[in-house]
Structure 1
């Protein structure tokens, strides 16, 4: 538990494990360019000596702020299409798209599954598979206090420090979480069926009762922007 505490975790996981929860602060992206349908994003480089970081290019400084884009996760257990909402979280979506286009997620595992009441998710997006990995940059968490995490939600995990990286979670059962995690989109019904199959197999409990690595290994063979 101690070894992973520095990584992007869901705050509720610390409650379940008997640790202290810190709620991330509210952050917003830069001002929207008038009439441009774009928004400015702040990409902050982080310590390249951290062995859990993967060196990647940062996305553009100005990114689209309208429409949706599909990110399809092809896994060994089935395809999980994600509909990402640029208007709701333009910087987070731009980051996920950029990472996918660089092949960042290809060959990575979804390292965490939880099936406890109030927290039913599959967490992915860490190429190291440790729960501590991320890209060589970070950016502000984008929340306004109205976020909810019902079944089908896609949201960014964080370390309760006001910043996001690359780890995200897919909600397969309505989850009671504080509005501290950037909501980036939705999983469709076909993807939820795949998640249900993974959840049915449970996890190894390595993080505590009902929380650990999926018993059915989930590898993202390819993440494709469509």
Structure 2
């Protein structure tokens, strides 16, 4: 499996890229839904807040092509991306919900998702969950396609939060990364995130009672040559 790179949305990499061309903007808008989206952007770091979620275009990797994001709401949005067939993650367009609660103070942390993704290209549809200090990254891959793979070494299989996962543990030099790859692809469903966090903390002792900051959901795109659409039909993140 290919080595996974970090996906950051708040700590942006210092890479500088040429802005997306006007043609990319036009194509991105054409690929948006028939109804007029309430927001769209083809900027590399384009972002906005809608309905309690923050949306990011987030083209953070090197060698990226064009990418445009649109949104009807914080829970219904999509991306048109045209990234070349080369290695390395190009982007992680996503919607973020802030939690800011410690694991032990959480009584519930759940999410529902419904997506439409391409049958070709190289990508994963994933949750990216961070503690407030960005020392720990927990990824939940709900589906994936093409030459992509997690960082680190295989730790075994586990059933948690309503799904069966292959678990990987690694370190990218700045933070620990725990990746849970669903053992069969899913484009819709509900995931109970809190049991996963408790398993990492209490069963494996890989982290302490961290304060969970961001729960992000999006598409980690390595390649989408020719232009492909990734649509979040519905996404909800709730905590208590």
Assess same fold via TM > 0.5.
no
Q: Which has the higher helix share?
A: 1
TM-score (norm 1): 0.25
Q: Report the TM-score when normalising by structure 2.
A: 0.24
Higher strand proportion, which one? 2
